[in-house]
A and B are shown apart, each in its own frame.
Chain A
């Protein structure tokens, strides 16, 4: 299941683990990324809190936790090569994985078509 938030994050659910990243639309708006900071594995995130940071040459942007849960894995390749996030934001440029407190909360988020309309 692939879902999107109005804060321009995407989540892909696999069991109760959601992979989180920034949307292609967000990546395009931000431009070339030069710095990525990710949460620590084991961190407990509450929906809406600043979980990660992506920075372009000119600006820093917080990436908010789209849902509540515990961080199980982070994409170190994104930290090592921030440009990789912009190159494939909804694939290899994922940011972190979250064990959701309540996987059913995904249902309230936007599907791809709804997000496409929202971002337009």
Chain B
């Protein structure tokens, strides 16, 4: 067998830089015995000695600590000091309400292109003096360049060199409150500047696992101390990118470069919920973003195909790129799997993929071709596991 797959991550997006960049937590990963792999130009931990399965289940049961410092953190600061200016400029590139974002809140959104495709998905937070945008690791350079090319020169842009640590799981809030009591009162998608063991951190209550949790931006030189302080708590285990992928798949969260890309628009991607009312038809600032003339009609007419959850009926995982068929024999492919694997918390294989609208009702049976055989799958609601976000 080839053992190359053992070290591979399912998203095929990474562009390997040579030499690989290291995050501020690199030395810690090595000390913890991580299996390191290249991902988006960085050496990243795939898993630690306990293994992916244990890390996944631990995150759902207690708390997992993830190094996501490879992601792109971008500060947008208007020279005028008028944040509305930066918000308006950013709204010309994304279909979300940035202007209406309150200080200390963040929203999920995406950069669209003229055809309505998704260039990247991201988080935008409004801070007192700037907008803080977090983009995917694989799109960091392209995303920065895209923003720089389209935002006015009067808005300063900088890549923030902070480490980014995610603490995820039902015990995350309790653990973090021991280091920073003020984080306990934060709601889902709140963002707050917090001092943690003397380090000035930017904490958001968000994540990519379907669990309650936080993402913590820490100055690089203090990152290891903060990570070690969190790891010293009994509930916390380090978790690698392997479990990050299986956790987000069970949570029904799309991965850019796999489930969504410039060839998919947000409506097809089942992400229309993220398009703010203010930017929809009849909204206060309707349209005005790239691809609006494709995306807004699609929201009303319904897309011709859509991203759905898929549960294989058998035990064999059905993975990305498997073609989907309407029937057990014959016919041309009607769609394809974009992410798939085994869901440790579900205890069964799970997948996501695109299907024609007529085949997207939950309970619809379709077939995936795996190793020359057609395996049955059932269209299923997302997420596969109940979300643990703290919305209250």
Contacts and interface: CB of A to CB of B under 8 A. Distances in A.
Interface of A: 7-9, 22, 26, 29-32, 34-35, 37, 50, 53-64
Contacts of A63: 1
Contacts of A30: 3, 6
B3 A57 contact: no
Contacts of A26: 1, 3, 6
B123 to A, nearest CB: 25
B242 A58 contact: yes
Contacts of A7: 1-2
Contact of B3 (A8, A50, A53, A64): A8
Contacts of B9: 58
A54 B1 CA distance: 9
A109 to B, nearest CB: 15
Interface stretch (B49-57, B68-76, B207-215, B359-367): B49-57
A118 to B, nearest CB: 12
Interface of B: 1-3, 5-10, 47, 51-54, 56, 242-243, 245-246, 315-317, 319, 341-342, 344, 349, 371
A26 B317 CA distance: 20
B344 A57 contact: yes
A60 B316 CA distance: 10
B1 A59 contact: no
Contact of B7 (A29, A32, A54): A29
Nearest to A5: B1
B342 A62 contact: no
Given A29-B7, A57-B341, A57-B344, 10 more contacts: A8-B1, A31-B53, A32-B54, A54-B1, A56-B6, A57-B243, A59-B5, A60-B317, A61-B2, A61-B3
A30 B344 CA distance: 16
A59 B316 contact: no
The 4 closest A-B CB pairs, nearest first, are: A59-B5, A32-B53, A34-B342, A29-B6
A55 B317 contact: yes
Contacts of A64: 1
Contacts of A29: 3, 6-7
A60 B3 contact: no
Contacts of B342: 34-35, 55-57
B89 to A, nearest CB: 40
Contacts of B341: 57-58
A4 to B, nearest CB: 12
A35 B51 contact: no
A34 B315 CA distance: 9
Contact of B6 (A31, A35, A37, A62): A31
A8 B3 CA distance: 8
22 contacts: A8-B1, A9-B1, A26-B3, A29-B3, A31-B51, A31-B53, A32-B54, A34-B53, A34-B317, A35-B316, A37-B371, A50-B371, A54-B1, A55-B316, A57-B56, A57-B243, A57-B341, A58-B9, A59-B8, A59-B319, A60-B317, A60-B319
A114 B57 CA distance: 38
Contacts of A58: 8-10, 52, 242, 245-246, 341
B5 A57 contact: no
Nearest to B10: A58
B1 A61 contact: yes
Nearest to A29: B6
A56 B52 contact: yes
Contacts of B2: 7, 61-62
A58 B56 CA distance: 12
A59 B6 contact: yes
B4 to A, nearest CB: 9
Of the listed residues B1, B54, B56, the one surrounded by the most CB atoms of chain A closer than 10 A to its CB is: B1
Given A7-B1, A26-B1, A55-B316, A61 B53 contact: no
A34 B345 CA distance: 12
A32 B1 contact: no
